[in-house]
Structure 1
Amino acid sequence: MINFRYHVVSLTAVFLALAIGLVVGTAALNGPVADSLSDNVNALRKDNTQLRETVNSLREEVNREEDFVAEAAPILLADKLAGRRLLVVCLPSGRDHAEGVMAALDLAGATLTGRIDVQDKFVNPDNSVELLELATAAARPTIPTTGLPGNSDGVETSSALLASALVDREEPPAVEPADLAALLDAYGDAGYITVEQEVTGPAEAVVVVSGQPYVDRDAAKKDAAVVTMVVQFDRVSQVVVAGTGSSDGNLISAVRNDPTLNQSISTVDNGNTTAGQSVTALAVAEQFTLDQAGHYGLGAGATSLMPKRPE
């Protein structure tokens, strides 16, 4: 009969076998297997170092190219926009590179008539009715609601009203400075726009500074509202969009994919870079000299890096 002592001896033998196995296994790993693992780790470490050096080299190359463009810009842009009056309209997504775009326009000799920053509230679909009411309340004797779109779209109506006040008119009367100030104050006080640079008068063309599309639950409606706003400015003036990328929902993409808009609105999809900002100024000049739109940059739908020199 198997007694308790037998069980103890059996368990002791099992644990002793496990211990011997661990010792033997560890010894084996400390040999060829351990050497192989060490070699693989060292190889991966070297690869990681090389990749890091490559990334640093590419970053330095990009920085040097940007420096080159910055130094060449005064020569490239000299007097391209001399005597031209431009309005800058900045979307929330374009704030980070708006100053760079404005600096390039200044280098080209343009006179900036002002900068208007459109707030997120302006394109929020919940505010359409309020925008309609505001357009009626903000209208002035020389900025009437006559001729504005009548399809109950607040963004469209308010954009058309602002465009009629901020851009040159083909027919009189001219906008009175007091009426213009009152209109901008009305939209500013309501939180729809911010006047970042004082508006001194009407512009000949508009540069819209944009960025990436919206990503919230109302993204599609907000992106569509941005296009609606730009279309209203395009109806009364020449427009160039300086944006970032050309992904779906992006203003750049929306313009390039529209067979009508891409014939009248110019786009630059790398407006967040020094090169793209210089190209933006050249695209505006092309609108004036050739009366045609172009699409420039690195993204889908771009025809070239920059406008061709007129022959």
Structure 2
Amino acid sequence: MINFRYHVVSLAAVFLALAIGLVVGTAAANGPLAENLNDQVNKITNEKQQLRDDLEQSRAELKKNADFATEVAPMLLTNKLNGKNVLLIKLDGSDSGDVGTATDGVASMLGTAGAKVAGTLTIKEKFTAASNSATLLQLAESSAPPGLSGALPNQANGVDTSAALLAAVLVGKTGTPQVEGTRTVLSTYEASGFIGLDGDFKTPAEAVVIVAGAPATGKDAKDRNTAALTLASRFDLAGRVVVAGLSANGLVSSVRGDASIAKSISTVDNAVTAYGQVAAVMALVERLGGKTGHYGIGDGASSLLPKTASVGNGS
């Protein structure tokens, strides 16, 4: 009869055999397994270094491209916009820092072309919010100069009405005096947090460059994007407009996607780059000459730059 002690010894022998098997198996596999792991680690390390090298090379190429665009800008732009007053408009959003940098770049290129920046108008995010439509209507009614109040669009769209008012006081033909009451209009909207102002705005601009970033996001994104297009359209009715976007999304795609508006507003979709900023000014020169075009590297662009032959003498 097998007693209890026999069972204990048998179980001990089984566990001992398992333990010996694990030790022997691990020892046998340890060499190939370690070598395989080392190979994988070395491969990942090499790939990481290659990606780092590629990134540094891309950065260097981008800097060279920017330097090239900056160096050729005088040859392309000098004297093209002499005597022209230009209004800069930048649209606030999630990428306002990049939009500000692009705006500064465009302003610099405008200076190279001989233009004077009448001022930079910042459209705050609350301006395009549908919930603020009634407030915008009230501001337009309370601040509009007597000679303009009857000329504003008669509809319940605060963005449209306010954009029409701002365009009326900021844009005009060369040599026209500043609209009486302009400072009151601008101060009213600025004090209410709808716009920001940088410049004296003493001289009406005959051309406008709107610098825009990524499309609006969130539950009211559609309304905000529509409002931005409405703003651009109202300024287009007052003067020549170029929309300079950081990419082909947002306001640029909205303009290009509307067959009617695309015929009167030019676009550039890479204004975050130096050559995009050059293109924006060249497009403005072309626009003042009566032509419209869409430039850059995104969908809807016909070429990187307007043809040099089409750039006039700034007339």
* Structure 1 and Structure 2 fold alike (TM over 0.5): yes
Which residue of 1 is the match for residue 123 of structure 2?
A: 118
In the superposition, relative to structure 1, how do residues 88 and 10 fare at CA in structure 2: closer, same or farther (>3 Å)? same
Native 8 Å contact 2:269 2:296 kept in 1: yes
Native 8 Å contact 1:234 1:264 kept in 2: yes
1:1-311 to structure 2, matched below 5 A, reads 3-93=3-93, 94-142=99-147, 144-168=148-172, 175-177=178-180, 179-247=181-249, 250-289=250-289, 291-310=290-309
Deviation at 1:164, TM superposition (A): 0.7
In the superposition, relative to structure 1, how do residues 8 and 169 fare at CA in structure 2: closer, same or farther (>3 Å)? same
Deviations 1:14-61 (A, max 9, x none): 321232222122222223333233223222322222222122112111
* Matched letter for residue 96 of structure 1: T
Native 8 Å contact 1:214 1:222 kept in 2: yes
Native 8 Å contact 1:89 1:115 kept in 2: yes
* Matched letter for residue 19 of structure 1: A
Which residue of 1 is the match for residue 96 of structure 2?
A: none
Scaled by the length of structure 1, what TM-score is found? 0.92
Task: Tell me the distance in 2 between the aligned counterparts of 1:204 and 1:20.
Answer: 90
Other structure's SS at 2:198 match: strand
Deviations 1:44-93 (A, max 9, x none): 32222222212211211111111121222222211111111110111114
Other structure's SS at 1:310 match: helix
| Deviates most, 36-45 or 182-191 | 36-45
Unaligned runs of 5+ in 1: none
* Matched letter for residue 288 of structure 2: F
In the superposition, relative to structure 1, how do residues 163 and 17 fare at CA in structure 2: closer, same or farther (>3 Å)? same
Deviations 1:258-301 (A, max 9, x none): 10111110101001111111111101001112x11111111110
| Deviates most, 146-155 or 93-102 | 93-102
Native 8 Å contact 1:115 1:198 kept in 2: no
| Deviates most, 69-78 or 265-274 | 69-78
What is the count of residue pairs matched by the alignment? 304
Deviations 1:133-191 (A, max 9, x none): 1110011134x221221220000000001111111169x9x5445x1111101111111
In the superposition, relative to structure 1, how do residues 11 and 310 fare at CA in structure 2: closer, same or farther (>3 Å)? same
* Matched letter for residue 112 of structure 1: V
Task: Tell me the distance in 2 between the aligned counterparts of 1:2 and 1:126.
Answer: 89
Task: Tell me the distance in 1 between the aligned counterparts of 2:7 and 2:157.
Answer: 88
Task: Tell me the distance in 2 between the aligned counterparts of 1:241 and 1:75.
Answer: 23
Q: Alignment identity in percent?
A: 44
CA RMSD of aligned residues (A): 1.8
Native 8 Å contact 1:240 1:265 kept in 2: yes
Native 8 Å contact 1:238 1:287 kept in 2: yes
In the superposition, relative to structure 1, how do residues 84 and 47 fare at CA in structure 2: closer, same or farther (>3 Å)? same
Stretches of 4+ aligned residues off by more than 3 angstroms:
1-4, 174-177
* Matched letter for residue 171 of structure 2: V
Unaligned runs of 5+ in 2: 94-98, 311-315
Task: Tell me the distance in 1 between the aligned counterparts of 2:8 and 2:77.
Answer: 93
* Matched letter for residue 161 of structure 1: L
Scaled by the length of structure 2, what TM-score is found? 0.91
Deviation at 1:197, TM superposition (A): 1.8
Native 8 Å contact 2:173 2:205 kept in 1: no
Which residue of 1 is the match for residue 313 of structure 2?
A: none
* Matched letter for residue 256 of structure 1: R
Task: Tell me the distance in 2 between the aligned counterparts of 1:9 and 1:198.
Answer: 99
* Matched letter for residue 154 of structure 1: G
Task: Tell me the distance in 1 between the aligned counterparts of 2:228 and 2:179.
Answer: 28
